[in-house]
């Protein structure tokens, strides 16, 4: 009996070990840059919302996030390091115009994870939609990448996507996935949602250097949960697990009464051992938004 | 019996069904690696053999097993099954009936990256109207200054005089770090700024520099902007070059530049006698367009030495010079948002020419010939100063430019024409200053008021003397004499002032303008004969001028701009009342005329797609002559031309219509454009010439005549990623129908000129680059009055080979070949070759460069020239071989 139990335990351990080894995180080899534009207000088509986005492409997963935010974060870290090395109090404006939403596509597990930033990081797990693509014979060159065209109807819109079979990872921007190549450009029939190919580059690996002050203590910036890990590692970061419905409620609340949420951030800072920061929250009036990306099917 | 029949029927159905199943084939198989382990989640695609396109796909499961359905209607024999997985080399196999298609994949590293590295080719970023070229994508170690890189960019062409054009259109301005340091004298920048300092070259289309007018008033200007690398913005930048060589040559270039956001400067001092004309640095590329816009036509130089044209070769092949130039260009961005700029330049030169020429003029009944040999010397001293104050804000625009020019030119010519010696001394001093003031401000109602005032004074006293007594039969009643002096000066005052009111709106911006122009000039000339006893007498009683001229114009203009995203249009409707009065007491001349002119202009640009557009324009212009069209006293313009007018002012009506199409695909670096235009000019008089062996006399006859010209041009440029080559080409075709009167005969003439050019720039390997350019010019002249036709063709080919074995050593070999063909003569062929070697001494951070220019030592050049009915054959002396050693270092 005991022998059987030992064997069972060993077997379980081995299995977990196996899966643990198998859980070695995917590292991006290639970065695809997009210029994302979305007509949020149909009365103002001349001025769509635009943002520079980047897709980190791993062996079987992808991480789609804002490139503007990444550049702004990098700049903030550099400025912070300079001020901290100089010593004394520091005052820095952390200005972020990009969005904090990130999409993680895990192809083999059929998982879609969405990360949102609302003072804290929120993680929303979902199933990766199976999209019914129709491949056509059209080809085009994007830079030097030879691509083929495919179309589908997804979340209320008719999308055209160009995928590159030479990059055989089934990922794409936002929630688009499932083609036998990375989707390098996609747009809907009305050109209201456009992921326009900007460029592709090799991933340059290397963890970010931790910010240390003159005494050698490590400083962790408040808004940057990614911390010092290498951005090329495609791994869902730590965050509060929630559902889509719960998050929408939180988002609405934020715009109605910001100070309630700000208290949670102050609480978090005190937990990390730092002084209670002096925070003043203002929520800017939002421009009209009558055209969401996902349209409910009729 | 029945049971047997039923079972056979069932069997038949079964067989049929299974046959159908076979028709809808399912390809199955397993994917393993070379060790036998399963390769999970492989992508399996079905591709057609012909186009290599994917028609269906599936993903293997975590055991490497897959099942893929062949779409109905496709023949399995035309398809391949391909297995791809990251970390493994892809494999494709054919389908064999229903047999499983298994794969054994070989491991491979960095597969994704290999695809990406291949696509990191030169790339253009587009953002709205701006196109950016990264300098490092197109430069190579041989490029010293940014001008060397700009001429290699796909879509951009640089002419011999430095004029830059983008997809067939000349640029309006070259900005440095967003600041306008040099106005349109951008050769200073392209020839001085080191290429290592520039990060990107940006092309900005529809550039509207005035902030207040952006998105309200159209501009179809194209501007270039050089963005400076962050490191170069903080320090002093300079590239110094000191050179000496044989036979007795020098070439120095000392410069200091600064490209901070608050302060920009390009200051330099240079001198050489190797054929590099420093005056080319200060060419004002948009000067004529600017003068036409403000309606100023300053008087042109009246006199000249009458010397022959320069050879049709690159300038450094024929120029004998001793030039020196100093240029100071400094710009400061003031704290309150204003900008102050000072540009000063001084040029001194001593040029000489050594020519021989034969000219034949063909007339219906006979041919007139003359020949000459020349030794000329030119000594210009030119000083130019400009002070600019500019405030360019959304709520306020102020611009004031104060310019002064002072130059002294002394020219000497020893001429021998048809056996007679003619020595000339020509002094041409110019002094002018101008001030342009422009102020724009928005009112509370969002409308914009503008005030503009331009004032200019020019004076150019010219004096030319000819010795010994030239052609006494014509100039001194047959008596020999000592010297002939011609003096001319046209001091001019000009002012243009206007008030304008703009009403911007989201749809059409309206502008209403009213103003006045006053031009006041005096033409004074004297032609004097100096006798042997030093007494000075006027050549005749009709060889002096005391002409006064006044032009006044009152104008009102309405302009409508449609600054849309897809359609941009502009309609300008100017109405003007012109009054011209001129009088000369010597000839009891006192005339005045008043005209009401309407000169509509229309242009439109329509975006056919995101990157392509169509342009069209129509202009109607009334052009009236100027003071140089109505002087009655004879002026000896050059030693062969005695010129006077005896008719009223020339009045021309000039209509132009043009159409063009522009294509661009920035992602693959492909540009092409085509343009066609038609110009119709009708004038109320025609110049008539009387030519004899010793001089030409021209008078103007009141004869209505019409000139029509058609022009078509095309430009194409493409970068081939596979061949690492930029291909470019262009074609220009012009047909001109005009009339000429000579010796009292009316001769209609048609001239057709064609220009074809093609070029290729290749990066053969990381160490070798080569380039090739060919330029073909063909001119033909026909007379519809049964006269003979003439053709001249010239082909110029240039090739260059660069070899850089290491970072410290560079070799260059280049050649230039000229061929001239013409009907009724042998062809002329010339070949010039240059070689250069550059060696870098790391310890001193200095480059040593050894150049041998024209090392085949070609010392004479003959050329032919055909225009209308005149044929000229010239022979020139060339500098020959020059060997130079230069030391180049950076600050």
| B40 touching A (Cβ < 8 Å) | yes
Res B132: pLDDT: 85
CB-based burial label for A32 (10 Å; 0-12, 13-18, 19+): buried
- pLDDT average, residue stretch B532-550: 88
Residue B87 has its nearest CB partner, among A59, A141, A170, at A59
Check pLDDT > 80 for residue B675.
Answer: yes
Bigger pLDDT: B760 or B49? Answer: B760
Work out the average pLDDT over A183-195.
Answer: 93
State how far the Cα of A134 lies from the Cα of B438, in Å rounded to an integer: 61
pLDDT winner (highest mean) among A70-74, B269-273, B584-588: B269-273
**Across the interface, which of A29, A108, A137 has its CB nearest the CB of B113?**
A29
Q: Per residue in A111-150, pLDDT tens?
A: 999 998 877 788 999 999 899 999 988 888 887 788 999 9
Nearest CA in chain A to B43: A180
Task: Please give the pLDDT value at position B538.
Answer: 86
Are B639 and B415 contacting, i.e. CB atoms less than 8 angstroms apart?
Answer: yes
User: Which residues on B lie below 8 Å from A108 (Cβ)?
Assistant: 40-41, 62
Tell how far CA B846 is from the center of its chain.
34
Is the pLDDT at B426 greater than 60, yes or no? Answer: yes
**Least confident span in B258-267, B470-479, B599-608:** B470-479
Listed in sequence order, the residues at least 6 apart from A12 whose beta carbon sits closer than 8 Å to its beta carbon are none
Q: Tell me which chain A residue has its CA closest to the CA of residue B722.
A: A144
Nearest to B757 by CA among B783, B804, B794, B792: B794
- DSSP element (H, E) containing A3: helix A2-22
Shortest Cα distance, chain B CAs vs residue A220, angstroms: 29
Look at residues A259, A257, A221 and name the one whose alpha carbon lies nearest to residue A93.
A221
User: Which pLDDT value is given to residue B438?
Assistant: 95
Please check whether residue B54 touches A, CB under 8 A.
Answer: yes
Whether B843 contacts chain A with CB within 8 A: no
- Inter-chain CB proximity A180 and B112 less than 8 Å: no
Is the pLDDT at B427 greater than 70? The verdict is yes
The verdict on B123 touching A (C-beta cutoff 8 Å) is yes
Average pLDDT over chain B, rounded to whole? Answer: 87
Are residues B565 and A46, on separate chains, in Cβ contact within 8 Å?
yes
* Cβ pair B127, B120 in contact under 8 A: no
pLDDT at B241 over 60: yes
Contact across the interface for A180 and B57, Cβ inside 8 Å? yes
Average pLDDT estimate for B208-223: 84
Q: How far apart are CA B87 and CA A29, in angstroms?
A: 11
B49 touches chain A (CB under 8 A): no
Is residue B559 within 8 Å of B575, Cβ to Cβ? no
Lowest-confidence segment of A37-46, B361-370, B600-609 by average pLDDT = B361-370
Residue A88, pLDDT score: 63
Question: How far is residue A228 from each of residues A62, A207, A220, measured CA to CA in Å?
Answer: 20, 6, 9
pLDDT recorded at residue B14: 52
Q: B115, A180: Cβ pair inside 8 Å?
A: no
Q: Name the more confident of B171 and B24.
A: B171
Identify the band that residue B598 occupies on the pLDDT scale cut at 50, 70 and 90.
Answer: very high
Q: What is the DSSP letter of B197?
A: G
Q: Is pLDDT of A277 > 60?
A: no
- Per-residue model confidence as pLDDT tens digits over A230-267: 778 888 888 888 888 888 888 887 777 666 666 655 55
Please give, rounded to a whole number of angstroms, the shortest distance from the CA of B74 to a CA of chain A. 14
Tokens standing for A122? Answer: 């929120």
Comparing CA positions, the residue from B203, B254, B250, B251 lying closest to residue B226 is B203
Whether B121 shows a pLDDT value over 60: the answer reads: no
Longest dimension (CA), chain A: 75
SS3 content of chain A, % helix, strand, coil (to 5): 25, 35, 45
Determine contact, residues B792/B824, Cβ cutoff 8 Å. Answer: no
d(CA B480, CA B484): 11
Three-state SS for B468-503 is CCCCHHHHCCCCCCCEEEEEEECCEEEEEEEEEEEE
How far is residue B663's CA from residue A230's CA, in Å, rounded to a whole number?
43
- How high is the pLDDT of residue B592? 92
Query: What number is the average pLDDT over the span B759-777?
Result: 91
At residue B551, does pLDDT exceed 80?
yes
Residues of A in contact with B120 (CB under 8 A): 201-202
pLDDT at residue B543 tops 80:
yes
CB contact under 8 A, A30 and B721: no
Q: Does B668 touch chain A (CB under 8 A)?
A: yes
**pLDDT value at position B693?**
55
Q: Contact at 8 Å (CB) between B54 and A161?
A: no
Is residue B142 predicted with pLDDT exceeding 50?
yes
DSSP line for A39-55: ---TT-TTS-EEEEEEE
C-alpha B254/C-alpha B527 separation (Å) is 46
Flag whether residue B844 sits within 8 Å of chain A, measured between CB atoms.
no
Q: What is the mean pLDDT of residues A60-84?
A: 82
Quick check: B701 and B426 in contact, CB under 8 A? no
B621-668 pLDDT, tens digit each: 999 988 988 888 888 888 877 887 777 788 899 999 999 999 988 778
Chain A contact set for B667 (CB, 8 A): 141-143
Note which residues in 752-771 of chain B have CB less than 8 A from chain A: none
Backbone angles phi, psi at A25, to 5 degrees: -65, 150
Mind listing the pLDDT tens digit for each residue in A210-233?
667 667 776 666 555 555 567 788
Average pLDDT over residues B5-30: 62
User: Cβ–Cβ of B112/A46 closer than 8 Å?
Assistant: no
CA distance B53 to chain A (A): 7
B739-758: pLDDT as tens digits = 877 666 667 788 899 999 99
Percent pLDDT > 90 in chain A is 27
- Provide the token pair at A12: 């379980």
What pLDDT shows up at residue A16?
Answer: 44
**How many CB atoms are closer than 10 A to CB B51?**
11
Strand B686-691 and strand B725-742: the pairing is parallel
CA distance A73 to chain B (A): 20
The structure tokens 């297995």 sit at: B83
Q: Give the pairing of strands A30-38 and A193-202.
A: antiparallel
What's the rounded Cα separation, in Å, for the pair B663 and B780? 32
Minimum mean pLDDT range among B60-69, B362-371, B584-593? B362-371
Q: How many CB atoms lie within 10 A of CB B469?
A: 18
- Residue B122, pLDDT score: 61
Q: Do B115 and B44 meet the contact criterion of CB atoms below 8 Å apart?
A: no
Distances in Å between the alpha carbon of B198 and those of B177, B192, B282, B394, B666?
9, 12, 22, 29, 21
The per-residue pLDDT for A228 is: 58
Instruction: For chain A, say whether B97 makes contact (Cβ under 8 Å).
Output: no
DSSP for B619-674, please give it.
Answer: EEEEEE--GGGS--S-EEEETTEEE---S---EEEEEEEEEEEEEEEGGGTEEEEE
**pLDDT higher at B243 or B12:** B243
Question: If we measure between CA atoms, which residue out of B266, B169, B179 comes closest to residue B220?
Answer: B169
Q: Which pLDDT value is given to residue A236?
A: 84
pLDDT digit string, tens, across residues B350-368: 999 888 888 888 878 888 8
Q: Is residue A225 classed exposed, middle or buried when 0-12, 13-18 and 19+ CB atoms within 10 A define those classes?
A: middle
The DSSP string of B843-890 is: TTTEEEEEEEETTT---EEEEEEEETTEEEEEEEE----EEEEEEEEE
**pLDDT (0 to 100) of residue B595:** 94
Per the listing, tokens 């024409």 go with: B417
Read off the pLDDT band of B695 (50, 70, 90): low
Q: Does B90 contact A143 at a Cβ distance shorter than 8 Å?
A: no
pLDDT given at position A264: 58
Mean pLDDT of A153-179: 92
Run of H or E residues at B156: strand B156-158
Range name among A195-204, A269-278, B132-141, B355-364 with the lowest pLDDT average: A269-278
- For the range B688-693, what are the long-range contacts, defined as Cβ-Cβ under 8 Å and sequence gap of 24 or more? B688/B741, B688/B742, B688/B744, B689/B740, B689/B741, B689/B742, B689/B743, B690/B742, B690/B743, B690/B744, B691/B361, B691/B368, B691/B742, B691/B743, B692/B368, B693/B368, B693/B369, B693/B370, B693/B418
- Write out the DSSP string of B31-64: EEETTS-B-TT-EEEEEETTT--EEEEEE--TTS
Q: How far is A31 from chain B (nearest CA, A)?
A: 9
Instruction: Determine whether the interchain pair A165/B112 forms a contact, defined as Cβ–Cβ distance below 8 Å.
Output: no
Q: What is the pLDDT of residue A87?
A: 66
Instruction: Determine the average pLDDT of the residues in B418-434.
Output: 90
Average model confidence (pLDDT) across chain A: 79
Q: Per residue in B493-532, pLDDT tens?
A: 999 999 999 998 878 889 999 999 999 999 999 999 998 8
Task: Please compute the mean of the pLDDT values over residues B94-121 and round it to a whole number.
Answer: 75
| Residue in A closest to B566 by C-alpha | A46
Across-strand partners of A227?
none
* Segment B563-578, tens digit of pLDDT: 888 898 999 999 999 9
Please give the pLDDT value at position B704: 79
Check B41 against A135: CB less than 8 A apart: no
Q: What does the pLDDT read at residue B141? A: 79
pLDDT at B272: 94
Mutate to test the interface with A, among B57, B68, B71, B724 (most CBs of A within 10 A): B57
- Residue B316 DSSP symbol: G
Contacting residues of A for B53, CB less than 8 Å apart: 135, 137, 139, 148
pLDDT at A93 over 70: no
Is the pLDDT reported for residue A13 higher than 60? no
The whole-number pLDDT of residue B118 equals: 56
The distance of B112 to chain A (nearest Cα, Å) reads 6
Is the pLDDT score of B800 beyond 90? yes
Pick A145's closest partner by Cβ from B45, B90, B119: B119
- A141·B667 Cβ contact <8 A: yes
Beta bridge partners of B610: none
DSSP state of B25: -
Cβ of B45 within 8 Å of Cβ of A198? The answer is: no
Helix, strand, coil shares, percent, chain B, to 5: 10, 60, 30
The residue with greater pLDDT, A5 or B516, is B516
On chain A, the residues whose CB falls within 8 A of the CB of B85 are 168
Question: By percentage, how much of chain B surpasses pLDDT 90?
Answer: 46
CB B208 within 8 A of CB B502: no
Residue A19: what pLDDT?
42
Contact A30 B119 (CB under 8 A): no
Residue B114, phi then psi, degrees to nearest 5: -60, -40
Instruction: Give the per-residue pLDDT at A106.
Output: 92
- Mean pLDDT throughout B291-303? 89
Residue B126 at interface with chain A, using a CB cutoff of 8 Å: no
Residues 6+ apart with CB under 8 A from B878: B317, B318, B854, B858, B859, B860, B861
Closest to B171 (Cα-Cα) out of B221, B137, B236: B221
Q: Where are the alpha helices (DSSP H) in B538-595?
A: none
Percent of chain B scored above 70 by pLDDT? 92
Residue A148: closest C-alpha in chain B? B53
Hey, which residues does B758 pair with through a beta bridge?
A: B729, B774
Cβ neighbours of residue A106 closer than 8 Å, sequence gap 6 or more = A60, A61, A112, A113, A128
Q: Which two tokens stand for residue B359?
A: 């000219």
Residues A23-38, mean pLDDT to the nearest whole number? 86
């Amino acid at each position: 009996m005991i022998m059987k139990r030992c064997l069972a335990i060993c077997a379980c351990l081995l299995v977990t070990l196996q899966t643990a080894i198998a859980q070695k995180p995917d590292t991006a080899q290639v970065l695809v840059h997009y210029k994302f534009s979305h007509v949020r207000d149909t009365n103002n088509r001349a001025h769509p919302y635009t943002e520079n986005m980047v897709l980190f492409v791993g062996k079987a997963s992808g991480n789609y996030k804002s490139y503007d935010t990444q550049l702004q974060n990098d700049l903030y870290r550099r400025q912070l390091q300079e001020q901290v090395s100089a010593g004394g109090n520091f005052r820095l404006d952390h200005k972020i115009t990009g969005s904090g939403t990130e999409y993680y596509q895990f192809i083999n597990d059929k998982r879609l994870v969405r990360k949102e930033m609302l003072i804290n990081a929120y993680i929303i797990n979902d199933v990766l939609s199976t999209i019914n693509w129709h491949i056509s014979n059209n080809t085009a060159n994007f830079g030097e990448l030879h691509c083929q065209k495919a179309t589908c109807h997804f979340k209320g819109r008719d999308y055209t996507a160009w995928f590159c079979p030479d990059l055989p990872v089934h990922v794409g921007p936002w929630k688009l996935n499932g083609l036998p190549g990375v989707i390098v450009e996609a747009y809907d029939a009305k050109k209201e949602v456009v992921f326009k190919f900007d460029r592709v580059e090799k991933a340059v690996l290397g963890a970010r250097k931790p910010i240390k002050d003159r005494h050698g203590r490590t400083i962790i910036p408040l808004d940057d949960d990614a911390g010092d890990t290498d951005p090329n590692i495609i791994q869902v970061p730590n965050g509060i697990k929630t559902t889509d419905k719960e998050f929408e409620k939180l988002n609405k609340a934020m715009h109605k009464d910001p100070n309630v949420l700000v208290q949670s951030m102050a609480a978090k800072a005190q937990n990390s051992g730092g002084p209670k920061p002096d925070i003043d929250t203002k929520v800017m009036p939002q421009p009209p938004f009558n055209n969401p990306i996902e349209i409910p099917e009729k | 019996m029945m049971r047997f029949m039923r079972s056979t029927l069932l069997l038949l159905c079964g067989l049929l069904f299974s046959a159908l199943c076979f028709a809808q084939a399912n390809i199955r198989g397993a994917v393993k690696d070379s060790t036998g382990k399963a390769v999970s989640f492989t992508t399996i695609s079905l591709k057609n053999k012909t186009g290599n396109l994917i028609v269906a796909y599936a993903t293997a499961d975590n055991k490497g097993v897959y099942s893929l359905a062949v779409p109905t209607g496709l023949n399995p024999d035309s398809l391949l099954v391909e297995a791809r997985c990251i970390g493994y080399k892809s494999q494709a196999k054919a389908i064999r009936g229903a047999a499983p298609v298994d794969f054994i994949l070989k491991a491979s590293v960095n597969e994704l990256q290999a695809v990406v590295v291949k696509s990191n080719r030169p790339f253009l970023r587009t953002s709205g109207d701006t196109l950016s070229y990264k300098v490092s994508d197109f430069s190579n170690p041989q490029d010293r200054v940014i001008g060397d890189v700009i001429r290699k960019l796909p879509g951009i062409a640089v002419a011999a005089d430095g004029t830059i054009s983008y997809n067939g259109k000349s640029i309006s301005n070259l900005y440095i770090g967003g600041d306008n340091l040099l106005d349109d004298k951008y050769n200073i920048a392209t020839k001085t700024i080191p290429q290592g300092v520039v990060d990107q070259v940006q092309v900005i289309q529809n550039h509207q520099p005035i902030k207040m007018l952006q998105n309200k008033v159209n501009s179809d200007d194209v501007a270039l902007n050089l963005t400076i690398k962050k490191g170069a913005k903080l320090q002093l930048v300079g590239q110094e070059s000191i050179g000496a060589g044989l036979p007795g040559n020098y070439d120095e270039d000392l410069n200091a530049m600064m490209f901070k956001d608050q302060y920009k400067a390009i200051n330099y001092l240079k001198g050489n006698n190797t054929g590099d004309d420093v005056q080319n640095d200060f060419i004002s590329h948009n000067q004529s367009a600017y003068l036409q816009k403000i309606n100023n036509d300053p008087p042109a130089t009246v006199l000249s030495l009458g010397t022959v044209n320069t050879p049709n070769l690159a300038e450094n092949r024929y120029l004998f010079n001793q030039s020196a130039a100093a240029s100071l260009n400094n710009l400061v961005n003031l704290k309150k948002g204003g900008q102050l700029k000072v540009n000063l330049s001084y040029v001194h030169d001593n040029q000489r020419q050594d020519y021989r020429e034969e000219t034949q003029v063909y007339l219906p009944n006979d041919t007139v010939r003359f020949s000459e040999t020349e030794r000329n010397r030119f000594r210009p001293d030119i000083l130019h100063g400009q002070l600019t104050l500019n405030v360019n804000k959304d709520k306020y625009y102020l611009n004031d430019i104060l310019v002064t020019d002072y130059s002294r030119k002394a020219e000497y010519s020893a001429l021998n024409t048809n056996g007679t010696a003619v020595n000339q001394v020509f002094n041409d001093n110019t002094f002018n200053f101008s001030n342009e003031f422009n102020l724009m401000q928005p009112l509370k109602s969002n409308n914009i008021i503008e005030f503009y005032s331009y004032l200019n004074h020019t004076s150019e006293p010219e004096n030319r003397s000819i010795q010994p007594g030239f052609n006494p039969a014509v100039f001194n009643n047959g008596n020999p004499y000592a010297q002939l002096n011609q003096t001319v000066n046209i001091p001019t005052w000009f002012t243009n002032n206007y008030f304008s009111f703009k009403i911007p709106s989201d749809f059409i911006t309206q502008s209403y303008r009213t103003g006045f122009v006053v031009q006041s000039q005096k033409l004074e000339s004297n032609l004097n004969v100096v006798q042997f006893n030093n007494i000075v007498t006027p050549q005749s009683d009709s060889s002096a001028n005391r002409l006064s001229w006044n032009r006044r114009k009152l104008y009102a203009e309405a302009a409508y701009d449609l600054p849309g995203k897809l359609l941009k249009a502009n309609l300008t409707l100017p109405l003007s009342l012109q009054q011209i009065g001129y009088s000369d007491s010597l000839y009891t001349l006192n005339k005045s005329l008043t005209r009401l002119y309407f000169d509509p202009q229309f242009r439109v640009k329509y975006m056919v797609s995101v990157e392509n557009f169509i342009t069209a324009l129509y202009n109607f212009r009334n052009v009236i002559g100027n003071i140089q069209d109505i002087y009655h006293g004879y002026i000896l313009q050059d030693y062969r031309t005695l010129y006077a007018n005896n008719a009223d002012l020339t009045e021309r009506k000039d209509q132009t219509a043009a159409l063009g199409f522009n294509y661009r695909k920035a992602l693959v670096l492909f540009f092409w454009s085509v343009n066609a235009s038609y110009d119709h000019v009708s004038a109320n008089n025609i110049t008539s010439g009387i030519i004899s062996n010793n001089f030409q006399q021209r008078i103007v006859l009141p004869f209505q005549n019409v000139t029509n010209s058609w022009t078509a041009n095309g430009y194409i440029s493409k970068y081939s990623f596979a061949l690492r080559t930029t291909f470019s080409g262009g074609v220009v075709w012009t047909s001109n129908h005009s009339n000429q009167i000579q010796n009292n005969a009316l001769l209609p003439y048609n001239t057709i000129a064609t220009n074809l050019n093609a070029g290729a720039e290749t990066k053969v390997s990381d160490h070798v680059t080569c380039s090739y350019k060919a330029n073909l010019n063909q001119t033909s002249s026909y007379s519809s009055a049964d006269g003979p036709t003439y053709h001249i063709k010239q082909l110029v080919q240039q090739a260059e080979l660069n070899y850089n074995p290491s970072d410290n050593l560079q070799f260059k070999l280049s050649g230039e070949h000229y061929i001239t063909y013409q009907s009724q003569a042998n062809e002329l062929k010339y070949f010039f070759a240059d070689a250069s070697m550059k060696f870098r001494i790391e310890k001193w951070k200095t480059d040593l460069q050894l150049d041998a220019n024209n090392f085949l030592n070609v010392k004479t050049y003959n050329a032919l020239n055909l225009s209308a009915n005149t044929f000229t054959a010239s022979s020139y002396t060339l500098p020959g071989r020059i060997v130079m050693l230069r030391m180049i270092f950076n600050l």
